[in-house]
Chains A and B, each alone.
Chain A
Amino acid sequence: MQRFLFIRIVQSFFTLLVLSVVVFFGAEQTGDLALVLSTADTTQEELEELREKLGLNKPAYQRYLAWAGKAVRGDLGDSGTKRRPVWDMLLERVPATLQLAGAGLLVAMAMGIPLGIIAALYRNSYIDRLCKMFAIVGMSAPQFWVAIMLIMLFAAQWQLLPAFGKGGLDHYILPAFSISLFIMAGFMRLTRSSMLEVLDSEFVKFARIKGLNERVVIYKHALKNAIIPVLTFGGVSFAGLLNGSIVVEVVFAWPGIGLLMLGGIRERDVNVILATVLTSGLLYIVLSTIVDLLYAYVDPRIRYG
């Protein structure tokens, strides 16, 4: 286990290193911050002065090393256009993204798992077919469009819920639902197939022969065993959640890391792009490592050498 963790940490260090080098030199090539900050009447001398001040006249590798040296000490530099330390901006944004992703996961499980159980219990009925159709649409409809349609109905037409921004609990409903739709479909299909498999097994038949209450058979015997693969899917679905969070944050003007990254890309703000890309990468690596460790905890057959 310790060796596994050690290898994972070394691997993620290299991943982040490669990511930072590629993004730094890529973003460098395409955007000149001095030009972005300049106005129409900026003279050539002022431009040079600005470059000097921002340190843009040094060769790229020197600037990368300077940036990396500061970054490992926790200083990610200032945002070029906002004139604020990037670190402060990250501290504001990361919790918002995690809250949204967490709420999305919660909604997906709270709706996907019961629907999957119902679909398995009433197999091939209308309700099962309806669930299947819902899953197909959930996997195929673009999240940004679903989000906009929800705003159109619930915020613009009926004015029941707020359309954008972060605030009280009602601000979470629409974003969490739109972000959850994709993985909700996954939860539903997986719960259904897992339940069907377990319901067909010997120990469930035996429980029924014993004359146990159908409710006890389903919830105590079948569900407990069927839920394990479903829970592991919850871990895998983080990639889907992070994916959705970028788009959904933009639609709902949710002050998360995706919105920050997109702003950075539009304004060619290298420090912001670097920080957000690395944070998202780190977030993803940390979460998937935790999930891997949880697998080993839930299923003792898994050993990481």
Chain B
Amino acid sequence: MATVDAEAVLNEKKSFGAKVSDMRKKSKELKMPWFPIAVLVILVVCALFAPFVAPHDPKDLDVLKGVAKLGPFESAENILGVDRLGRDMLSRLVYGARISAFISLVSLAFGAIVGTAIGIASGYFGGKTDAFIMRCCDAVMGFPTILLALIIVAIQGGAGIQNVIIAIMATVWARFARQIRGEVLTLKERDFVVMAVVAGVRPHVIMYRHIFPNVVNTVLIIVSLLVGQTILLEASLSFLGVGVPPGTSAWGIMVSEGRDNLVDLWWLSLLPGLCITIVVICMNLFGDWLRDTLDPKLRRT
């Protein structure tokens, strides 16, 4: 109760303007990367509310417009032009953001869960299992990611959202496992863990309740650093025709569709690729900032 009262007193004293200027000062100290954050907010809004943001249905065909080769800024109804079949480019891009965000976040979330669990267990128990798991991590991390993802897709029998997610998961888990395991090695020597062991707490409770909360920060940083790479990997797989099913409005597929008409329909490939590049740049800048702010020790990752 006491803390709540104190806050209430503070709030009363400061006017709204003072609070805003406080926040400004604080954000200046943190050097918030405003441009990347703005782009990411736009991405998330597009992903969550695609049906409301997009001016048209991305599947609506309009052959007449397609034949007319309506380019960007040529009509008010289709600001970014239409594709060969007359589908609205802007709407397709918005839905593409949804697919990109969905796949990269889901696969990263699963990869983070699996990798963190393996990393904690590996570091906590140590011994031969640990050595074996770390060799596996080395193999996975060193191997070219697209090649690895292709192998996983080949095993599963081709394109499909589920297969892409599993393929991406298979490439990212090792990065979590490796980093987390290193932190667990120092954590398990700390007094609170040793005391828990002495008190007879069972290993899985120690790992979940005492160790896991101490590595959450690191997990979040690795996630933010990997989002850019994951979006690139998803786009590459979709482009190669082994990712999201063909015909979907995924950015990688849209770039691929535009390949046949590079001269007169130049915007078909240009725009989705530009979207990928901008989002990945912003994600990388944001991840770097988050790492530097939250945990400067992690600089080498």
Looking at chain A, what size class is its interface with the partner chain?
A: 35 or more
Decide if B143 touches A141 in the complex (CB within 8 Å). Answer: no
Decide if A31 touches B157 in the complex (CB within 8 Å). Answer: yes
Number of A-B contacts (CB under 8 A): 127
Contacting A at CB under 8 A, from B138-185, are 139, 142-147, 150-151, 153-158
Decide if B262 touches A239 in the complex (CB within 8 Å). Answer: no
**Given A27-B155, A246-B240, A284-B273 contact (CB < 8 Å):** no
Q: Choose one: B155, B228, B240; the contact of A250 (CB below 8 Å).
A: B240
Q: Is A219 an interface residue (CB 8 A)?
A: no
Decide if B150 touches A262 in the complex (CB within 8 Å). Answer: yes
Decide if B240 touches A284 in the complex (CB within 8 Å). Answer: no
Q: Is B284 an interface residue (CB 8 A)?
A: yes
Q: Is A261 an interface residue (CB 8 A)?
A: yes
Nearest residue, chain A, Cβ from B255: A145
The residues of A that contact B143 with a CB separation of less than 8 Å are 239, 281, 284
5 residue pairs, one from A and one from B, having the closest CB atoms: A26-B155, A30-B157, A145-B273, A140-B280, A243-B144
Q: Is A229 an interface residue (CB 8 A)?
A: no
**Given A152-B266, A246-B150, A261-B150, A144-B281 contact (CB < 8 Å):** no
Which residues of A come within 8 Å of B, CB atoms? 15, 19, 22-23, 26-27, 29-31, 136-137, 139-146, 148-149, 151-152, 156-157, 239-240, 242-243, 246-247, 250-251, 261-262, 264-266, 268, 273, 277, 280-281, 284, 288
The stretch that binds A, out of B8-16, B73-81, B194-202, B231-239, is B231-239
**Given A144-B255, A156-B262, A243-B150 contact (CB < 8 Å):** no
| Complex-state Cα separation, A295 to B273, whole angstroms | 38
Q: Is B33 an interface residue (CB 8 A)?
A: no
Closest Cβ of chain A: how far from B100's Cβ, in Å? 11
Q: Is B242 an interface residue (CB 8 A)?
A: yes
Between-chain CB contacts (< 8 Å), 24 pairs: A19-B151, A22-B151, A26-B155, A26-B156, A27-B154, A136-B281, A140-B281, A142-B236, A142-B239, A142-B255, A144-B256, A145-B277, A148-B259, A157-B263, A242-B147, A243-B146, A250-B239, A262-B242, A265-B150, A266-B242, A273-B154, A277-B151, A280-B147, A288-B142
